[in-house]
Amino acid sequence: MSATHDEEKNLDQLYRDVLFEHYRRPHHKGMLVGAEIVTKGNNPLCGDNVTVFGKLDAKGELLEHVHFDGKGCAICMASSSMMTDLLTGKTLDEAERLSNQVKAMLRNETLFKVPPELPDFEALEGVKKFPIRVKCATLAWTTMQNGILAYKVGKLECESSTENE
């Protein structure tokens, strides 16, 4: 059974509401003191800037806390907020895998599947229809991946950009 025009319109409004809720009241926004991962990212096309923070467990394998800080468009801030929700409590390897999966879904390179632990993520599905906005939605995910990589090779802080993606 296909959705009617009114149903699609209502879903679009619901997704817009979810995105704006994450934008207005982002989860885990702000600096994270004592973070082992601190990575800056920017999207020069849109002006988005984020810093992603990851605090690890004693073994250095599990992201106990994930935060972000910065300024950007509603899509960037909402996606950053959702990223903190999804990656908190994950191992570094799981976080890298999930970040790759999310970026592939947003770029329409793979089937869009909503992670069961993050139902709000469905609101980002429409972003893939607007290639210029995909970079906004993927900035925090790319920045976290770069931070994990830098941590693994022993650097504390690095910078990333979506300019060449």
Domains of the chain with bracketed CATH? 5-161 (3.90.1010.10)
CA dihedral sign, ordered 95, 112, 122, 158: positive
Q: What is the pLDDT of residues 71-88, one digit of tens each?
A: 999 999 999 999 999 999
Taken in order 115, 85, 107, 39, is the CA torsion positive or negative? negative
Contact in structure between 88 and 52 (CB atoms under 8 Å): no
Instruction: Give the model confidence (pLDDT) of 30-89 as tens digits.
Output: 999 999 999 999 999 889 999 999 999 999 999 999 999 999 999 999 999 999 999 999
pLDDT band at 2 (very low <50, low <70, confident <90, very high): low
pLDDT at 13 over 60: no
Strand 63-71 relative to strand 48-56, pairing: antiparallel
Q: What are phi and psi of 54, to 5 degrees?
A: -130, 125
Asked if residue 16 lies in contact with residue 29, where contact means CB atoms within 8 angstroms, the answer is no
